[in-house]
Amino acid sequence: MILSYIEISLWIATAFFMLSSASSIMQSHIHGTSRLDWIKQHLGTKTPYTSEVENITSVDEPGCKLLQFHSVIRHGTRWPTARNTAIIRDMASRLLMSNSDKLQWLKHWDDPFLAGKAGYLHITGQHEMYHMGRRIAKRYKRLLESVDLDTDELQFASDAQSRTSRSGSAFHLALLEQTGDLTSAFISPTSWSIYPKATDSYIHMGYTCPRWLSEVYTNPNATYQADAWIEVMLPPIADRLSTEFEVELSVYDIKAIYVACAFETSFFGNYSDWCSLLDPDDILTLEYAEDLEHYYKFSYGHEINRWVATDLMSMLMRRLESNEPPKMSFQFGHSQTILFLQTFLNLNQDSDILRADTPIDMIHERKFRTSKVSPFAANIGLELHDCSGTRYIRALLSEQEVILKGCEEAMCPLDQFKSWIGEKLKQDYDMVCRL
């Protein structure tokens, strides 16, 4: 992306003001918590999943019966992609030329990012999904016991990628332990669907939407705001670290340090030496850069993004309105699956469009923060309750209840929710995606 001289000057003026005024605000976010705990909350889409609902044992509402539960779940922690593996290795080799005492640890660093496993589900991700399955089995015990496991009342689905189906497998092992007659763990088999990428409008839905592919995915200007933020905010970080380590570092090297920090933190759960190279304001700057990219690729930054999850939400609503199977279903996808669905539901929407020149206080208070809304194993669940003949819907985002659009409370009359979402579901996916 090329900006005009005037635009560059304006961005730089804004950036220096933001950098000079932001440090104390950013530092205040760490007060009262450990640096590791703080970092774990600011790693964008590579943030490890944490659950705060371990002790919840029931979802039953007084006078109500839970009829259905459906969930869309992002895969667990994965290995870096081939591209990220390569840029981390390249950046590390450059830093090895430094004589800085702060980098002595790098001489003994055992690179954990294996190129042959790029993109696959990591063992940490397997554990994330297994423990989530145990929590779901505990929380929905009565509903699960009512499911006829010899039929299709319980269904699983994923796209054709290994990390999503393996996430579902780990989840399935925990959910159905002690429910059947297979193996020493007494596992029940379950119905499973795999959506081929070429026709998948439910999980990897952007790639079957020609309009999204044209307007967003292949459009070099689609992430203009993220590019503008990076172009101004990251060079000062690169210059500072280049001077400190006496090695020439680029913006791409700074992004690679952040990626290495994120993956090591997610893999091992302890403080990564890579994170120590970045100041807190560096981390928040890099987090916002990733948020802007995902905001414009998969969320409110472009109009088409508001409709890409049409087929997925239509399928979920058909299930909620039907007395036919399934009673429970689990769809395993990607960060884009979660972000497209949240966008369709108008969740975590800020009052103003996020931009590179958004005021710093608004950036800090933004609702759209991928570290919170789309970490590894992020999920959106929909419960259907019958309360004295009236049906209610309740939504959960990463196992925490949220109030749906068109509703006043978390337990929302289904008809009330339908009056809002019904207008959106009149849209046809094929028509929305047509060029």
Give tens-digit pLDDT for 377-389.
999 999 999 999 9
- Return all residues near 66 (Cβ < 8 A) that are at least 6 apart: 59, 60, 140, 142, 143, 383, 384, 385
| Confidence grade of residue 214 (pLDDT, cut at 50, 70, 90) | very high
SS3 at position 369: coil
Which residues does residue 270 pair with via DSSP β-bridges, in sequence order? none
Supply 16's token pair. 């220096």
User: In this predicted structure, what is the pLDDT of residue 179?
Assistant: 87
Q: CA-CA distance, 145 to 180, in Å (whole number)?
A: 12
Domain boundaries defined on the chain: 5-432
Q: CA-CA distance, 424 to 346, in Å (whole number)?
A: 11
- Which of 51-55's residues contact partners 24+ apart within 8 Å by CB, and which partners? 51/131, 51/132, 51/135, 51/398, 51/399, 52/399, 52/400, 53/135, 53/139, 53/399, 53/400, 54/135
User: In this predicted structure, what is the pLDDT of residue 1?
Assistant: 46
Given the structure tokens 């990591």, which residue do they identify? Answer: 122
Given a cut of 90, whether residue 20 has pLDDT beyond it is no
Supply 145's token pair. 């016991």
Report residue 29 CA to chain centroid gap. 22
Given a cut of 80, whether residue 329 has pLDDT beyond it is yes
Which top CATH class is 5-432? alpha beta
Q: CA-CA distance, 32 to 34, in Å (whole number)?
A: 7
Given a cut of 70, whether residue 22 has pLDDT beyond it is no
Higher pLDDT, 287 or 14: 287
- Return all residues near 211 (Cβ < 8 A) that are at least 6 apart: 304, 432, 433, 434, 435
50 C-beta neighbours (distance < 10 Å), count: 12
- Return all residues near 423 (Cβ < 8 A) that are at least 6 apart: none
User: In this predicted structure, what is the pLDDT of residue 92?
Assistant: 98
User: In this predicted structure, what is the pLDDT of residue 61?
Assistant: 73
Q: CA-CA distance, 283 to 269, in Å (whole number)?
A: 17
Supply 343's token pair. 């966008």
